[in-house]
Amino acid sequence: MNTIALVGNPNSGKTTLFNALTGSNQHVGNWPGVTVEKKEGKFKFNGNTYNVVDLPGTYSLGAFSEDEMVARDFILKGNPDVVINVVDATNIERNLYLTSQLLEMGVKVIVVLNMIDEAEAKNIQFGIKTLSKKLGVPVVTTAASKRKGIKELIEEIVRVIDGEMDLKPSISYGDKIDREIKTIKKLLSGKTLEYPPRWIAIKLIEGDQYVHDLVSENKALSSDSEFGDVLSAVKENIEDNELEIVNRRYEFVNDVTRVSVVRPEEAVKTVTDKVDKILIHKYFGLPIFILIMFVLFQLTFAVGEDLLGGLMAAAVDAVGHAIEVFLVNINSPAWIIAFVSEGIIGGIGAIIEFIPLIVVLYMLIGILEDSGYMARAAYIMDNIMRKLGLHGKTFISMIVGFGCNVPGVMATRTLESKKDRMIAILINPFMSCGAKLLIYLVFIAAFFPNGGGLILFLIYFIGILVALLVGKIFSRTLFKGETTDFIMELPPYRKPVLRNVLRNMWDNVSGFLKRAGTVIFAVVTVLWIMAVLPAGVEPYGAESILGRIGLFIAPIFKPAGFGTWQAAVGLFSGIAAKEAVVTTLGMVYAGVGEGTELISAIQGAFTPLTSVSFMVMTLLYTPCVATIATIKKETNSVKWAIFAMVYTFAIGWTMAVLVFQTGRLLGFS
């Protein structure tokens, strides 16, 4: 009985082909690694029975994994009469690497180009005759899942088993290695070994540990001093030899595919090159990046606020009102009504109103990311950061920080050197996260309803600028050391996929909602209690616990123009979570005014100038506890966490004072 072995990369369709050949029903799955042990089956043709063995999928035939060992042992020790190499035609370049290793083994091979249906759908064309000639083995095309080409394959199998096949090695590894192979092969001849001598020779030169162990256990060989000399000479050069052998295999694959595979020209790629000439241009790149960000914020406002914002505010008002009416109707105690309408609706409602803006902003960022532009932006920034003595990868963690500083700080893990990493961690809080966005949105609504895009753009810009400057100062003073080099990959541009964009947006918005329901809710509750106690004082007044805390802190902020106790408690609670700045203001001003109470209350309590200095303060000052905790964990040091808290506060305060005082001198109010 003849034996046929099926080998190939994971997920290339070996089991499907096995089932098609044997009529059995082995498990097939559209992911790699479905078959983990070898499976056997049989088929009959012209009165002869053939034994078929389905082997686990592997990318290579080294000794890296159990699967590779199972596959190569069966091929070399199981004496198959022919080895069917199942190749995924849509991925032929990758698959042929395994083929090149099969050809080293001195066994009869048939290459099956499977999934030919998909390759045709992708418009990939093959010169089958050339392919077969170049590989030196028969090539058959199949679509195993459609049972196409099976009959032709069986006929080829029979032909190959019955006929002779020229097993002359088809790959040369260069003169030096070829000579070494010959020498070793000669020394091995006559010794009893489990594997073919030429294959052992290649594996020894390549540095295959398993084969090295095998040889050292062989008594006849270890007593052969000539072999010992050759072996130790080989061992000296294993790193180079391995590279050379692998390299030759790839060159073989290249040589084969160059003349036998034609892929459709992808228009995107030529476009990518052209577009990149402008977008990452030495001088135009940065202005274009800035312009794109500017447009992004303008669009956010045009769509998120002007188009959708009003609707959301109206909805929040309506729902809030309905809940209040409901609570009154069921005769709830006054304190519950107060808690719900002023604490929850006044506080959390204030942030819910801005969801449309957040949705739009993160969708736009998602589009930039998915189209491939974000990588260009990082590349442009990389150049600038290098000039400032900062590591370019810092900007990648900064991009992540735009969503939230917690993952932003985590993202610095990709920085190798301690110096680069510490700087990246410490400046990440200056990246304006999604929660801070809310604060700006409230103040923009109050004072700059027509210039929202510009203000937001400037704020983010100041954040980046401060981060870069502070980073530069740190790299000069606090941290010394080498920076490691790296190269960024610029993927081809592509049309953004709606699904990815939506998912990116949802990742951020859902995080936001989750926080509103948990952290923010808890903060609001605690603050509300502090705002109505001790009993007897006017709720939300200066006499409440909250008010007294505020009054105590407020003088610090006088020079920055917002020395009210409300602003002070807002900033204070912002350390718990940045959204809490808004919810706190929403709550302490909930009794004031009517309609969109918070906005009108803020218009009364701030001026355009102090609103700007307040926004700058919130942009830069002490990060939230979650971020501080992450900094502590990532730097493994309480000292640095405290440092991060204090120095960001100092910078935020200084900048806010600077803005306010300069603004006043210039005559703004």
Partner 1 sequence: MLKELLVVIKESSYISKSNISKKLNISEELIEEGFEQLIRMGYIKEDVRGIKCDVGCSSCPYSKSCDKMPIKTIMITEKGERLLAK
Ligand X SMILES: Nc1nc2c(ncn2[C@@H]2O[C@H](COP(=O)(O)OP(=O)(O)OP(=O)(O)O)[C@@H](O)[C@H]2O)c(=O)[nH]1
Q: Which residue has the CB atom at the shortest distance from ligand X?
A: 57
Q: Is the peptide bond before 534 cis (omega within 30 degrees of 0)?
A: yes
510 binds partner 1 (CB under 8 A): yes
Judged by CB under 6 A, which of 144, 427, 437, 546 binds ligand X?
144
**Least gap, CB of 35 to Mg ion (angstroms):** 3
- Residues 296 and 512: their CA atoms lie apart, in Å, by 20
Phi/psi for 136 (5° steps) reads 80, 20
Q: Which does 103 bind (CB under 5 to 8 A by kind): partner 1, Mg ion, ligand X, none?
A: none
Nearer to ligand X, 142 or 508 (CB): 142
Q: Which does 228 bind (CB under 5 to 8 A by kind): ligand X, Mg ion, partner 1, none?
A: none
**Least gap, CB of 508 to partner 1 (angstroms):** 7
Q: In this structure, what DSSP letter does residue 346 have?
A: I
**Least gap, CB of 148 to ligand X (angstroms):** 7
Beta bridge partners of 141: 113
Q: Which does 16 bind (CB under 5 to 8 A by kind): Mg ion, ligand X, partner 1, none?
A: ligand X
Q: Is 495 exposed, middle or buried (0-12, 13-18, 19+ CB in 10 A)?
A: exposed
Nearer to partner 1, 94 or 472 (CB): 94
Q: Which stretch binds partner 1 (CB under 8 A): 334-342, 370-378, 527-535, 642-650?
A: 370-378
Alpha-helix residue ranges (DSSP H) falling in 28-91:
66-77
Contact residues for 512 (Cβ-Cβ < 8 A; gap 6+): 355, 358, 434, 435, 579
Binding mask 52-91 for ligand X (x = CB under 6 A): ----xx----------------------------------
Q: Which does 143 bind (CB under 5 to 8 A by kind): ligand X, Mg ion, partner 1, none?
A: ligand X
Binding positions for partner 1, 55-114, rule CB under 8 A: 91-94, 97
- Amino acid identity for residue 395 in this structure: F
CA dihedral (126, 130, 136, 137) positive or negative: positive
Binding positions for ligand X, 10-49, rule CB under 6 A: 10-16, 28-30, 32-35
243 binds partner 1 (CB under 8 A): yes
Q: Which stretch binds ligand X (CB under 6 A): 113-121, 156-164, 633-641, 646-654?
A: 113-121
Count the residues in the chain.
669
490 binds partner 1 (CB under 8 A): yes
- Residues 287 and 454: their CA atoms lie apart, in Å, by 16
- Amino acid identity for residue 314 in this structure: A
Nearer to ligand X, 35 or 564 (CB): 35
Distance of CA 354 to the CA centre of its chain: 28
414 binds partner 1 (CB under 8 A): yes
145 binds ligand X (CB under 6 A): yes
Q: Which does 33 bind (CB under 5 to 8 A by kind): Mg ion, ligand X, partner 1, none?
A: ligand X
Nearer to Mg ion, 35 or 101 (CB): 35
407 binds partner 1 (CB under 8 A): yes
The count of other CB atoms within 10 Å of the CB of residue 191 is: 15
Tokens of 135: 């590989």
- Comparing CA positions, the residue from 196, 231, 233 lying closest to residue 216 is 231
Q: Which does 12 bind (CB under 5 to 8 A by kind): Mg ion, ligand X, partner 1, none?
A: ligand X
- Residues 590 and 258: their CA atoms lie apart, in Å, by 72
Binding mask 202-231 for partner 1 (x = CB under 8 A): ------------------------------
Binding mask 438-477 for partner 1 (x = CB under 8 A): ----------------------------------------
The count of other CB atoms within 10 Å of the CB of residue 23 is: 10
Binding positions for partner 1, 250-309, rule CB under 8 A: 250-251, 253-254, 257-258, 261, 263, 269, 272-273, 276, 280
User: Rg (Cα) of the chain, in Å, rounded?
Assistant: 35
Binding positions for ligand X, 443-482, rule CB under 6 A: none
Beta bridge partners of 49: 44
541 binds partner 1 (CB under 8 A): no
**Half-sphere exposure (Cβ direction) of 664: Cα atoms closer than 13 Å:** 12
- Comparing CA positions, the residue from 611, 614, 580, 585 lying closest to residue 598 is 585
**Residues within the interface to Mg ion (CB under 5 A):** 15, 34-35
Identify the three-state secondary structure at position 508.
helix
Nearer to ligand X, 12 or 584 (CB): 12
Helices 579-588 and 498-517 pack at an angle, to 10 degrees, of 50
374 binds partner 1 (CB under 8 A): yes
Nearer to ligand X, 10 or 492 (CB): 10
**Least gap, CB of 40 to Mg ion (angstroms):** 13
Contact residues for 35 (Cβ-Cβ < 8 A; gap 6+): 14, 15, 26, 27, 54, 55, 56, 57
- Amino acid identity for residue 285 in this structure: G
Judged by CB under 8 A, which of 488, 522, 625, 638 binds partner 1?
488
Task: Please answer whether residues 51 and 38 qualify as being in contact, where contact means their C-beta atoms are separated by less than 8 angstroms.
Answer: no
| Number of residues binding to partner 1, judged by CB under 8 A | 61
Q: Is 294 exposed, middle or buried (0-12, 13-18, 19+ CB in 10 A)?
A: middle
511 binds partner 1 (CB under 8 A): yes
Judged by CB under 8 A, which of 492, 541, 591, 608 binds partner 1?
492
**Least gap, CB of 34 to ligand X (angstroms):** 4
Q: Which does 317 bind (CB under 5 to 8 A by kind): partner 1, Mg ion, ligand X, none?
A: none
CA torsion 592-597-602-603 (nearest 10°) is: -100
Beta bridge partners of 41: 52
- Burial code (b: 16+ CB inside 10 Å, e: under 16) for 609-632 equals bbbbbbbbbbbbbbbbebbbebbb
Q: Which stretch binds ligand X (CB under 6 A): 111-119, 219-227, 256-264, 568-576?
A: 111-119
Q: Is 213 exposed, middle or buried (0-12, 13-18, 19+ CB in 10 A)?
A: exposed
Footprint on this chain of partner 1 (rule: CB under 8 A): 91-94, 97, 239, 242-243, 246-247, 250-251, 253-254, 257-258, 261, 263, 269, 272-273, 276, 280, 369, 374-375, 378-379, 393, 396, 399-400, 403-404, 406-407, 410-411, 413-414, 416, 484-492, 507-508, 510-512, 514-515, 518-519, 626, 633
Footprint on this chain of ligand X (rule: CB under 6 A): 8, 10-16, 28-30, 32-35, 56-57, 114-115, 117-118, 143-145
